[in-house]
Amino acid sequence: MKKSFWLGLLVLLLVIGGIFAWRFLSAGSTTGNSAGAAAGGAISDDLPIVTPQPLTIGGIGGYSLPSVDLGDGPVPLVRIPLDTWGGYAALFAANGGAAPNRDSVFYRDHHFAVELVREENGQAQLDGFAAGRYTAIWASMDSLPLLYDALHNDRRVVPQVIGLFDWSVGGDGILVRDSIRRPQDLKGKTILTSYAEGYSFFMLWYLAQLDISPLDVRVVHIPDAEKAAEAFRDNPGIAAWVTWTPFLTDAIDPDADGYMPDVRLLINSRDASQLIADVLMARGDLIREKPEIAIGLVDGLLAGADLIAKGDGRAFVAMAAFYGLAGGAAEARELLIEVHLPTLPEMQMFFDPENPIGAYKIFLLAQEYYKMIGSLASTVSYEPDRVLYLAGLEAAAASGRYAGQGNTIQNSFNRDAALNIHDLENQRTVLAADIQLYFEAQRLDFDVEGDNESVRQNMRLLARMAEQMNILGTTLVKLVGHLDTSKVEEFRAQGPQAFIEASAQAKLISKRRAEFVKSVLIDHFGIDPDRIITEGRGWDDPVDADDPQSNRRVEVQFISFE
């Protein structure tokens, strides 16, 4: 699958490898073993650990652009290497198959030809790009800081993102043992990754939402997904596994050979809406010398996705032949179940600098995460504009050809799902966080325009919540209010009846505080009110019996519909 691209490359180059494990090697820490015991069993001593290092690529050269004659004279031929992944379907649709041909959108409308080359080896793909044999190649948006860092010193091969292939919508995820009751329980545990680079970003992002430092987990890496599955099954001390389908789905399917009865899905890329994005990038020298090719490639992506959306099935026939799929076109079509091919408005949204989940934000987030673990130098500061070339997108918009397309992914909340919160909670909470908002004594609200530091901190926390809600687009959000427990014993001393009445009142007050937080999210951050429910638990579930003030908080739970 597409995962093989970065598997071969990044394992070989030791980019991310066993993320964060350097801390344990250099310090001689036994945290990994103790974490394993806490997770329910021992961990094999031979699980591989690789020190993160910056990405280095050799063999850089100028590009060669061969020509092909399809009956009207020679035209440039662009070769694009692909591994097995449904997100490339638009290329097959636009090109009319894998081979260069006269019916291709690229040939008919832009006077160049495209040949899709099957190449499952990630190192070969990147080597071909650096050496100039391939002038365009796919990448995950979160990988661009690493690629730019490795290639930016040679102006010829600086990678430029020209368009969006797809979003992953369910194909990537994190599995956990049943012993992980709440997401925060991952702190101090051992996490296994199969796909080092791409999953380092997904995992790093997820840990950040939990306020868990990367130094507070131990990560081991097995690049072969089948061997990783065996390691996860055989090592109960591994608390979580970051992987992809079919391993992701088989582990929780009782009818599958890979079923693991003590494992459940914590989060996948359907929950983390638009976070995992695959992009098409081209060499800088090609873009400077032949910008019309970059523009034509983007137009082809949009035209191909449009053909598929309108029911044209020829792409699936071509994909089945290209990949040798035993199930034919039906199996090829199934590859699209867990990806979303973008329309023009969706692609524009992705490249909008103001989009909180778009290309700019993903690039900056990934850059900071990779600096944190040592895959980028701490002094690095790359601007997203350096890796973006959006002339193709602008030309497509100006053409008017896709004016009828809409944005179907902007609001991915499942409005048809049942709003039975108890049923939903029984499925899974994909993220939970405690935030401590400041309320003055006897107050159920605060002045959102206030200039004191407590109020400003409140608003910073709520802004972060709003950002999480935007990314976790297929989830319902539950706000659970709690109260300061400093007077619990005082009411308890007044007798059972007084305590019961006070406890009930505490629940009402804490719910009203949660309702106020809901109103701020709606009125000041534009959050959909249908996605928020509130509950008051008063003095129940204190987080710290010795510090009553810390219990004045609102707990946030993101509960998946999928």
Query: Residue 255 carries which side chain, given as an amino acid letter?
Result: D
> What pLDDT is stored for residue 372 in this prediction?
81
State mean pLDDT over 324-338.
93
As a whole number, mean pLDDT of residues 392-417 equals: 82
How far is Cα 360 from Cα 345, in angstroms, rounded to an integer?
A: 17
Least confident range of 1-5, 132-136, 254-258, 275-279: 1-5
- Look at 418 and 144; give whichever has higher pLDDT: 144
Average of per-residue pLDDT values in the chain: 84
Task: State yes or no: pLDDT of 187 exceeds 50.
Answer: yes
Q: Which two tokens stand for residue 319?
A: 């994909």
Q: How confident is the model at residue 39 (pLDDT cuts 50, 70, 90)?
A: very low
Examine the pLDDT at 15 and tell me if it is beyond 70: no
H-only helix segments in 74-171: 89-95, 105-110, 122-131, 144-151
**pLDDT at position 248 over 50:** yes
* Share of residues in the chain with pLDDT > 70 (%): 86
Q: What is the mean pLDDT of residues 15-32?
A: 33
- The pLDDT of 150-159, averaged and rounded, is 92
**Does the N-terminal peptide bond of residue 246 adopt cis geometry, omega within 30 degrees of 0?**
yes
- Measuring CA to CA, which residue among 458, 273, 474, 278 is closest to residue 356? 273
DSSP conformational letter for 186:
G
Q: Is the pLDDT of residue 490 over 80?
A: yes
Q: What is the predicted pLDDT for the residue at 538? A: 86
Lowest mean pLDDT among 45-49, 87-91, 123-127, 424-428: 424-428
Q: Say how many C-beta atoms besides its own lie within 10 A of residue 374's C-beta.
A: 17
The percent of residues above 90 in pLDDT, for the chain, comes to 46
pLDDT for res 422:
54
Binning the chain into helix, strand and coil, the percentages to the nearest 5 are 45, 15, 40
Residue 446, Cβ density class (10 Å: 0-12 exposed, 13-18 middle, ≥19 buried): buried
The backbone torsions φ and ψ at residue 399, rounded to the nearest 5 degrees and listed phi first, read -70, -25
**Which domains does the chain possess?**
18-51+170-268 (3.40.190.10), 67-165+277-341+387-398 (3.40.190.10), 421-560 (3.30.1330.60)
Check whether 111 has a pLDDT greater than 90.
yes
Q: Residues near 227 by Cβ (< 8 Å), separated by ≥ 6? A: none
Tokens linked to 512: 């009203």
Give the per-residue pLDDT at 517: 92
Does the pLDDT of residue 406 top 90, yes or no?
yes
Is pLDDT above 90 for 296? Answer: yes
| Rounded average pLDDT over 525-550 | 84
| Structure confidence at residue 418 (pLDDT) | 45
Most confident of 4-8, 219-223, 257-261, 352-356: 257-261
* pLDDT greater than 50 at residue 40: no
pTM: 0.78
The pLDDT assigned to 42 comes to 67
Q: 85-94, 100-109, 180-189 — which is least confidently predicted?
A: 180-189
What is the pLDDT averaged over residues 334-361? Answer: 92
pLDDT at 210 over 90: no
- Is residue 249 scored above 90 in pLDDT? no
The arithmetic mean of pLDDT across residues 308-330, rounded, is 95
Is 11 a residue whose pLDDT tops 60? no
Which pLDDT score is estimated for 476? 84
pLDDT of residue 331: 92
Q: pLDDT tier at 455 (50, 70, 90 boundaries)? A: confident
Contact 384, 378 (CB under 8 A): no
Higher pLDDT, 340 or 370: 340
Is residue 188 very low, low, confident or very high in pLDDT (cuts 50, 70, 90)? very high
